[in-house]
């Protein structure tokens, strides 16, 4: 399987989670923060609100899209959903590893097939282990990550607390995407397993996902700049 090159880590590994409820608000943050931030996460709330239109706008700005819809369904449905996402030329997308070996294998096969057929760059398939809003045993996260690796996924989403364990037990080329990233010591809100950007990077994360600390800041651009300048 051909993997995408991650590229310039200093500038490319901070992802802004566009956890907003309208196209207008999402567009505002893309306009404000690009090119400081070059990858934007589109989750279920925003995608339900405005559909592929926001993906098209992000691409128009020459930025990239992390489509975080966490696919989980029967293998055929997930495989076809992955194919449709690939046609939107997203950089990466998520699916639940808990969907099992058959679902994951079908998704990987379909992604490869569509990429060859349409001559498009294949999106990175990132497996969701356990949501950061939930408690989890590290060994359970590792087990899910190994299943994703065995099925051909490109990487996993995991909290800062599991990065070191995964790095010690899976190949370095396997990508780790880390949500729950916070500035120095903010309240953890509904995410239980959080950390600072410095901690996550030192542990071995490839992509850091930041949402509310930037979206709710008085000066979002300043917070993004601080994360990039001080923690990379």
Instruction: Provide the 8-state DSSP code for 1.
Output: -
Residue 175 near residue 124, CB atoms below 8 Å:
yes
Tokens of 195: 């950390």
Kindly tell me the sign of the dihedral angle through the C-alpha atoms of 106, 115, 166, 182: negative
Residue 30 near residue 5, CB atoms below 8 Å:
no
Orientation of helix 101-118 relative to helix 138-150, angle to 10°:
40
Residue 40 near residue 64, CB atoms below 8 Å:
yes
Residue 175 near residue 153, CB atoms below 8 Å:
no
d(CA 72, CA 183) in angstroms, rounded, equals 31
Catalytic residue among 36, 61, 70, 164: 70
Residue 41 near residue 209, CB atoms below 8 Å:
yes
164 is catalytic: no
Q: Which residues are catalytic?
A: 70
């Amino acid at each position: 399987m051909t993997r995408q090159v991650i590229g310039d880590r200093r500038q490319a590994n901070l992802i802004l989670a566009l956890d907003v409820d309208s196209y207008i608000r999402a567009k505002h943050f893309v306009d404000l923060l690009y090119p400081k931030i070059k990858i934007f996460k589109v989750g279920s709330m925003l995608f339900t609100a405005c559909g592929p239109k926001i993906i098209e706008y992000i691409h128009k700005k020459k930025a990239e899209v992390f489509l975080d819809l966490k696919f989980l369904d029967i293998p055929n449905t997930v495989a076809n959903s992955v194919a449709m996402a690939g046609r939107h030329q997203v950089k990466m997308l998520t699916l639940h590893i808990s969907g099992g070996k058959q679902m994951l294998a079908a998704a990987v096969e379909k992604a490869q097939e569509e990429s060859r057929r349409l001559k498009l760059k294949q999106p990175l398939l990132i497996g969701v282990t356990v949501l950061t809003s939930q408690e989890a045993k590290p060994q359970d996260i590792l087990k899910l990550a190994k299943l994703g690796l065995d099925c051909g996924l490109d990487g996993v989403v995991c909290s800062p607390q599991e990065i070191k364990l995964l790095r010690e037990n899976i190949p370095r080329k396997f990508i780790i995407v880390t949500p729950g990233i916070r500035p120095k010591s903010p309240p953890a809100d509904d995410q239980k397993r959080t950390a600072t950007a410095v901690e996550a990077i030192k542990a071995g994360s490839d992509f850091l996902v930041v949402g509310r600390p930037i979206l709710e800041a008085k000066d979002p651009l300043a917070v993004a700049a601080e994360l990039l300048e001080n923690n990379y």
